[in-house]
Amino acid sequence: MEAKAQKIVKSSRMRNVASKLVSNKAALLGLAIIVIIILLCALAPLMTPYNPTKPDFSAQVQPPGGAHPFGTDKLGRDILARVLYGGRVSILIGLSGAVGGMLLGVIIGSLCGYFRGWLDAVFVKVAELVSIFPQILLVLVLVTILQQSMYNLIMIFIATGWVATFRMVRGRFFSLREESFVEACRVFGLGDLSIAFRHILPNCLGPVIVQLTLNTAGFILQEAALSFIGLGVPSGTPTWGNIMNAAKEIVSINQYPWVWLAPGLAIALFVLGVNFFGDGLRDALDPKQI
């Protein structure tokens, strides 16, 4: 009975958010792009008969068309297959890095913003340290210690990505905890954790979601950059960055543009979709916007 009443309230809020989202064309377009790219990557074996890692020396650097709609690279691997399989890894890295960073940032930010005191002082210093430490150095150090791997990359993204969310959540908490509705919760005798996470936190979700989308996009770009210089995911695994890595020489840039154009476009398109959707979601989550 109780759960049902709760559900009615919640579902009406979700419906409200959804209806606002549907009326926002840019957000819908963004969502469509994200869903299509993710579906294509997830269903890669159905989309292409080729193995993305198996060289085929009979079909080196073929231009797009015919059996290879996006062409092949120098080892004769099908570019479409590589972009689709690579997308799985790139998107996984971007999303899990961003989600992990968000969770960490939200939890630490909420606790610091609500309780303040020494806890807050410590984490503010830690956040400062993380943000001034050159990320590339961190990558180099970790690669030296732990070797290159997808999981290490995700760990690095989480370790550096929580800071922005942390600062934002903490800042919002500082102003929100002075609001009368928070004092009202305390007068009702509600517990601190319940006030922090169930009453204050939902008021910060709009910017957090936007940060999540920005981070997802940013991490996909960073993965591409790190893999491009050979510090990201080991080159055996195709990712959008690794595919472009293969096009480092000037000869590929000039003469085989399809080798780097396809993954480049995939990155651009996906990042664009994520940003569109994030903006729309922020507006939809704000109950004040009609």
Q: Binder to another protein among 9, 132, 145, 250 (CB under 8 A)?
A: 9
140 binds another protein (CB under 8 A): no
Nearer to another protein, 158 or 195 (CB): 195
SS3 78: strand
63 binds another protein (CB under 8 A): no
Binders in 10-49 for another protein, by CB under 8 A: 12-13
192 binds another protein (CB under 8 A): no
234 binds another protein (CB under 8 A): no
Nearer to another protein, 49 or 288 (CB): 288
> Which whole-number Å values give the CA distances from 65 to 57, 70, 71, 78, 126, in the listed order?
18, 7, 6, 11, 53
288 binds another protein (CB under 8 A): yes
Query: 93 and 157 in contact (C-beta within 8 Å)?
Result: yes
For the bound state, the minimum distance from the C-beta of residue 195 to another protein, rounded and expressed in Å, comes to: 10
Q: Which stretch binds another protein (CB under 8 A): 67-75, 92-100, 140-148, 201-209?
A: 201-209
Q: What are 239's two structure tokens?
A: 């990712």
Q: Which stretch binds another protein (CB under 8 A): 104-112, 164-172, 176-184, 261-269?
A: 176-184
Beta-carbon contacts of residue 245 (< 8 Å; ≥ 6 apart): 227, 228, 229, 230, 235
For the bound state, the minimum distance from the C-beta of residue 120 to another protein, rounded and expressed in Å, comes to: 12
Nearer to another protein, 32 or 129 (CB): 129
End-to-end CA distance of the chain: 31
Torsion of CA 17, 279, 287, 183, to 10 degrees: 120
Q: Binder to another protein among 15, 133, 146, 181 (CB under 8 A)?
A: 181
Nearer to another protein, 194 or 255 (CB): 194
SS3 153: helix
Q: Which residue has the tokens 């294509």?
A: 40
- The angle that helices 79-115 and 117-132 make with each other, rounded to 10 degrees, is 150
118 binds another protein (CB under 8 A): no
Please give the single-letter amino acid code of residue 259. V
Q: Binder to another protein among 128, 183, 192, 249 (CB under 8 A)?
A: 183
> Which whole-number Å values give the CA distances from 219 to 67, 136, 223, in the listed order?
33, 13, 6
For the bound state, the minimum distance from the C-beta of residue 197 to another protein, rounded and expressed in Å, comes to: 13
Nearer to another protein, 63 or 287 (CB): 287
Provide the 8-state DSSP code for 49.
Answer: S
Distance CA 220, CA 87 (A): 10
Distance CA 138, CA 272 (A): 28
For the bound state, the minimum distance from the C-beta of residue 192 to another protein, rounded and expressed in Å, comes to: 12
The count of residues interacting with another protein (CB under 8 A) is 24
For the bound state, the minimum distance from the C-beta of residue 129 to another protein, rounded and expressed in Å, comes to: 18
Binding positions for another protein, rule: CB under 8 A: 1-2, 4-6, 9, 12-13, 179-181, 183-184, 186-190, 199, 202-203, 205, 287-288
